[in-house]
Amino acid sequence: MRLDHDEEDYSLSLSRFESMLKTNKVFFFDSEEFEEIILHYLDTGRINLAKKALKLGLEQHPKSTGLKLVQVEMLIYEDKIDMAEKLLNELYVLEPNNDEIFIQKANIYSKRDNHEKAVEFLYEALKRTDDPADVYNLLGMEYLFMDNLEKAKENFILCLEEDIEDQSALYNVVYCFEFLDQHLDAIAYLKNYIDKNPYSEIAWHQKGRLYYNLQDYENAVRAFELATYIDEYFLGAYLEKGKALEKLKRYEEAIESYKQTMELDDPTSYALLRIGKCYEKLGNKKEALDYYNKTVHEDPLLDKGWITITDFYIKLKEFQKALYNVNKALGIDNQNPDYWKKYAAINNALNFFEEAEYGYRKAIEYGDDDIDTWLFWVDLLLEIGETENALFTLHQAEEQHNNIFEIEVRLAGFYYTLGNYEKGKIYLTKALQNNAAHIGVLNELFPSVYELEEVQKLIKKHKN
């Protein structure tokens, strides 16, 4: 990070350079100024300006190694790898101990997915550099590419020992701990880090996340709270704190935390939805519905918002309103099996049986393999008199769920109804062997079958 007077000089250099481009006058800049200007334009994605600055820089300082290394970086950025490597080899002859040459060689090999070779060059750079933090960070990234999380973690830790303020390394070291399922070790590391850097809001936030994942919600709340004390504009920490407070059933405090995010920035559909859920948990249906409506107003394409309103109306048994909202959700995601199952249940409650049957069919089609969904569908087919379809569907269910009492008892009922007593007996025997105590289901679904003398004998035989 630059000192204040350096920052002023840097801004002045940019202003002078852009003024030069507008007036076509030629100003002199030293090579380091050109490097800063070029890297600024690269970082902000203004490639054409970066190229102009590089061209002028090399015209004024044709022997500058620093500018040529920036040229290498730009060539790599543009995927002109061979040209970059050729230039690096020329620079290596002139300055064989320049750490930046080894870093850029590593960059080239990384681009070629040869991460082992990239690591070799980075270790060479480490021997020569006065700024090991950056090299350790790059080593960490290369080891991440190689899926060597332990070595990656080790290097990110070394980076932070050199530069305790490196936020990307802090995020990455926590990621490594988490990926390796070393959550308690991660918390221990962060405790040690915070002892050295107590005002790091990122560290407190990450510590809160780890506690949350371990379901230690009290400590999570404290960590998120400290993150917001350090940075009162830390929107993410307020959101995470709200989630943890919800888990503790401290819904009023959670609402306040979510509302804090709306004072810092425009309302998000996520915060509005969570506030609605908190009000619903508090029994305040009016406020809950108000915030649910605000959620879908803020983001009309948020299917979770529409489905939450659907569930809200289902609980109130206002099925017509629930149907409107589940159709909204399906309009956004028409391949979600859960939405189709809700659609089917709502239509069933409204006695729209054909629509309900269609909903169960679509739920199964899009991956719902819950035994209850199959049974709801079959029972509905039976209710509307589609016996053959119901039987066909039951056999499909049997292929997915073998040796299930609820399927076997229904198959028995169907086959007895169709006059196929032999198959009926086979399935009834299986059902009784599975769960004779609940054979009353047969009476509910197929009362005439249940009264058959043969069936009664078989039931008594298995109950005895």
Per-residue model confidence as pLDDT tens digits over 33-71:
877 888 887 777 787 887 777 777 777 777 777 788 887
**Digit-coded pLDDT (tens) for 326-371:** 999 999 999 999 999 999 999 999 999 999 999 999 999 999 999 9
Report pLDDT digits (tens) over 164-178. 999 999 999 999 999
Identify the DSSP state of 265.
S
Task: Give the pLDDT confidence score for residue 3 in this predicted structure.
Answer: 34
Whether the predicted pLDDT of 443 surpasses 80:
yes
Backbone angles phi, psi at 206, to 5 degrees: -65, -35
Q: What is the full DSSP assignment across 7-65?
A: HHHHHHHHHHHHHHHHHT------HHHHHHHHHHHHHTT-HHHHHHHHHHHHHH-TT-H
Specify the amino acid at residue 33: E
Backbone angles phi, psi at 112, to 5 degrees: -85, 5
Best CA proximity match to 348, nearest among 323, 315, 313, 374 = 323
Non-local (6+) Cβ contacts of 332 within 8 A are 301, 302, 303, 306
Cα torsion for 339, 341, 346, 351, to the nearest 10°?
A: 140
Query: Whose CA is closest to 30, among 60, 10, 5?
Result: 60
Mean pLDDT of 300-321: 97
Q: Can you tell me the mean pLDDT for 131-152?
A: 96
Whether the pLDDT of residue 207 is over 90: the answer is yes
**Residue predicted with more confidence, 67 or 318:** 318
pLDDT confidence tier of residue 2, bands split at 50, 70 and 90: very low
Tell me the range of 71-80, 97-106, 242-251 where mean pLDDT is highest.
Answer: 242-251
Task: Give the angle subtended at the CA of 223 by the CAs of 287 and 186, to the nearest 5°.
Answer: 130
Res. 1: pLDDT tops 70: no
| Higher-pLDDT residue of 169, 385 | 169
Tokens linked to 29: 């800049």
Share of the chain above pLDDT 70, in %: 98
| Of the candidate ranges 117-126, 148-157, 419-428, 454-463, the one whose mean pLDDT is the lowest | 454-463
State both tokens at 212: 């949350």
Average pLDDT in the chain: 91
Give the CA radius of gyration of the chain.
Answer: 34
Highest mean pLDDT: which of 55-69, 288-302, 434-448?
Answer: 288-302
State residue 137's pLDDT score. 96
Which pair of structure tokens corresponds to residue 85?
A: 């490597």
Structural domain boundaries in the chain = 396-464
Q: Name the residue among 426, 417, 419 with its Cα closest to residue 450.
A: 417
pLDDT of 15: 75
Residue 406 has pLDDT above 60, yes or no: yes
Contact criterion met (CB below 8 Å) for 126 and 135:
yes
Residue type, 379: D
pLDDT at 415 (0 to 100): 94
How far does Cα 273 stand from its chain's mean position?
A: 18
pLDDT at 4: 40
pLDDT of residue 7: 55
The answer, yes or no, to whether residue 255 has pLDDT greater than 50, is yes
The pLDDT of 108-130, averaged and rounded, is: 93
Please state whether 284 falls in left (phi above 0), alpha (psi between -120 and 50) or beta. beta
